[in-house]
Structure 1
Amino acid sequence: MTGLTRRRLLRGLAVAPAAAAIGTPQIARAAEIELRYGNNLPATHPLNVRAGEAADRISAETKGRVALTIFPNNQLGGDTDMLSQVRAGAMTFFTPSALVIATVVPTAAISAVGFAFADYDQVWQAMDGALGAHVRDVIAKANLHTFEKIWDNGFRQITTSGAPIETAQDMDGLKIRVPVSRLGISMFRALSAAPTSLQFSDVYAALQTKIVDAQENPLPIIQVAKLYEVQKHCAISNHIWDGFWFIANGPAWNALPADVQEIVASAINDAGLKQREDIKALNGSLQAELEVKGLAFNGTDPDSFRAKLRDGGFYSEWKGRFGDEAWGVLEGAVGKLA
């Protein structure tokens, strides 16, 4: 990963950084335009490293006219707080996951439909193409500007303390922790599992005391939370892909001079593409490291999961919720689901 080491990243994910704006070198100069960007990730996460590079580029290309200050690690509040702030104009930029912004724009969650995407090639073709454009158009109706390139949050994988998950049949009765997400809960119920919503801070203890036997998260989270200590198997299920939309307060964005908009958009979109590569490389190295720590990995049969969801009415239900237009764009990218 260019300019970013795995050790540096994992240290930052495991330990919250000191409360400081990443963009402070730019803020030290008297800028004509000051942009505030908040997010929920540590300062050393690829998202913030690449955003810091974008801030440097924006300052350089505007000759100090524009300063982008980054507030990582929930310094400006939780996801709900930051989403409210960017909508109100108290904050210029925010990077909510699709599931977070879906609380305001439900269609945004369509990229997180269970087992929709087979791989990253399919993800980026869809999100850089018609599906991403459709979601951005819907978000715009909420008075928010969305940059063209969505940033990567990653595919989620299933870990268990008991038998490995290989097919949909293995999900029957599985006590699995899931985030508070209507879409996620609906999916696991359709797979005949027994999902329980818990705050992430409670996950390790819940697995350790057998309140739940399984959980699902991207590999970096499994690593930093040391979930391998209380789990035996990790199924590369790729059951949900999620990304971070880089959004702006609509009126604040529209008020910027056209030349500033062009510089900022180019810097942020280019940084997003680099961040995608960072996450891809990180996931590849983490699997090998987690195997050394005793977590056994196995593949899965995605067709069996899709068949179970289809037969259980999951896809039909969410087609109705998202609407024919959005669902048609999704299926245009990934093939027939419902």
Structure 2
Amino acid sequence: MTTALTRRRVTGALATLCAAVALLTALPQDAAAQAKYRLRYGTAFPADHPAVLRITEAAEAIKAETGGQVDIQVFPNSQMGSEPEMFSQVRSGALDFMSTSGVNQTIVPVASINAVAFAFADYKQVWAAMDGELGAHVRAAFDKAGLHAFDKMLDNGYRNITTSGKPVNSPDDLKGLKIRVPGNPLWVSVFKGLGASPTPIQFGELYAALQTRVVDGQENPLALIQSAKLYEVQKYVARTGHIWDGHYIFMGNKKWATLPADIQASISKHFAAAAVKEREDVAILNEQAVDAMQAAGIVFTDPDKKPFRDALKAAGFYEEFKGKYGEAAWSILEKYSGPL
């Protein structure tokens, strides 16, 4: 099967899934009114993102398998509030489920260990670690913090650097560069270690910040760079793959404990299946994003990653986060990544 055919097939499948989701949300809610367990799932992903489509698909499968006892309503695009607000709601029990990669780190610091820069060479390493011992270690930390994290993470993709003035081919090209990053310590430390000037800006303000040159660059997964049209105000994409970014799905332990074992099993099974399908979808969307942005005139570069990793090591980045995560977590990470 050719790559083009695979892409068309996945794109068609996602379009069909979008239409099915729209139809289901338009149907009368008699079944929801009769459901014994009415649960809400919040996420910042947009409505057409594979993470939303696949979880919505899973919700319908759970409803069918439980004979209508469980009705999970999915609220995309931050309809239930910002990620910090949704996180607070899940912890208090006001919201049942959410997925995120960032804000949980304030309560579960080791939850960001998957984002250690240049740790994972490829997806084979990512999924071996996060579906294996490293993921289990992090989920145990979630549990101690009163949160039930589901077994399979959603894929948000490897993050890559975009710039407007010059391409990034080495750490020297980042010296003094004002680059937008999410407002969390790991991202800031990465780009400080590389000599850049990291500037936290809310994602909703990013396009305007790039357009007005408040910042000179930013970093995000390819599919998001394309879907948010950031390529309109940037010229270069450096496929650094410096951080792999994934979303945990979780629920408060107290709420999880109120669900019967058979309901828990159904939710766990279908959320895991949804995550695996979503990963496949994102891989295809990232390929399509490259094609679309190249057609729009974006210049791609593929820098050697070793100099970036060496620069971070010299700056003390790896020692800093080894200390923050602890020897046990770090030794598990290095089983998959090799010595950092």
Matched AA of 1:51 = I
Aligned equivalents of 1:120 and 1:279: distance in 2? 12
Aligned equivalents of 2:331 and 2:125: distance in 1? 16
1:206 CA displacement: 2.3
- Structure 1 unaligned regions, length at least 5: none
Larger deviation, residues 214-223 vs 124-133: 214-223
Residue 65 of structure 1: aligned partner: 69
Residue 220 of structure 2: aligned partner: 217
Residue 50 of structure 1: aligned partner: 54
- Structure 2 unaligned regions, length at least 5: 1-6
Q: Which of 289, 292, 301 is matched with 2:295 structurally?
A: 292
Q: Which of 72, 75, 94 is matched with 1:90 structurally?
A: 94
Q: Which runs of 4+ in 1 moved over 4 A?
A: 1-9, 20-27
Please list the CA deviations of residues 57-108 of structure 1 after superposition, one character each: whole Å capped at 9, or x if unmatched: 11111111111111121111111111111111112111111x2210111110
Residue 77 of structure 1: aligned partner: 81
Please list the CA deviations of residues 302-332 of structure 1 after superposition, one character each: whole Å capped at 9, or x if unmatched: 1111100001111111111111111111111
Aligned equivalents of 1:329 and 1:23: distance in 2? 47
| Number of corresponding residues | 330
CA distance 1:237–1:24, shift in 2 (3 Å): farther
CA distance 1:21–1:82, shift in 2 (3 Å): farther
Residue 179 of structure 1: aligned partner: 182
Residue 334 of structure 1: aligned partner: 337
Residue 278 of structure 1: aligned partner: 281
SS at match of 1:176: strand
Matched AA of 1:158 = I
Q: Which of 254, 257, 262 is matched with 2:257 structurally?
A: 254
State yes or no: 1:148 paired with 2:169: no
Contact 1:85 1:91 in 2 (8 A): yes
Matched AA of 2:77 = N
1:3 CA displacement: 6.8
CA distance 1:308–1:275, shift in 2 (3 Å): same
Aligned equivalents of 1:51 and 1:64: distance in 2? 17
CA distance 1:7–1:209, shift in 2 (3 Å): farther
CA distance 1:130–1:313, shift in 2 (3 Å): same
Q: Which of 156, 161, 166 is matched with 1:158 structurally?
A: 161
Q: Which of 34, 41, 44 is matched with 2:38 structurally?
A: 34
State yes or no: 1:198 paired with 2:198: no
Contact 1:23 1:55 in 2 (8 A): no
Matched AA of 1:49 = L
Q: Which of 260, 272, 291 is matched with 1:269 structurally?
A: 272
1:162 CA displacement: 1.9
Q: Which of 142, 153, 161 is matched with 1:139 structurally?
A: 142
Contact 1:144 1:247 in 2 (8 A): yes
**Normalized against structure 2, the TM-score is what?**
0.91
Contact 1:235 1:297 in 2 (8 A): yes
SS at match of 2:188: helix
Contact 1:160 1:234 in 2 (8 A): yes
Contact 1:4 1:46 in 2 (8 A): no
CA distance 1:33–1:7, shift in 2 (3 Å): closer
1:230 CA displacement: 1.7
Matched AA of 1:301 = D
Considering fraction of residues, name the structure with more helix. 2
Aligned equivalents of 1:251 and 1:289: distance in 2? 45
State yes or no: 1:314 paired with 2:317: yes
Matched AA of 2:118 = F
Contact 1:24 1:69 in 2 (8 A): no
Contact 1:26 1:56 in 2 (8 A): no
Aligned equivalents of 1:25 and 1:241: distance in 2? 39
Aligned equivalents of 2:332 and 2:26: distance in 1? 38
Aligned equivalents of 2:329 and 2:38: distance in 1? 36
CA distance 1:313–1:284, shift in 2 (3 Å): same
Contact 2:10 2:281 in 1 (8 A): no
Please list the CA deviations of residues 118-170 of structure 1 after superposition, one character each: whole Å capped at 9, or x if unmatched: 11111101100111000000000011111110111111110111221112222
Q: Which of 232, 246, 251 is matched with 1:243 structurally?
A: 246
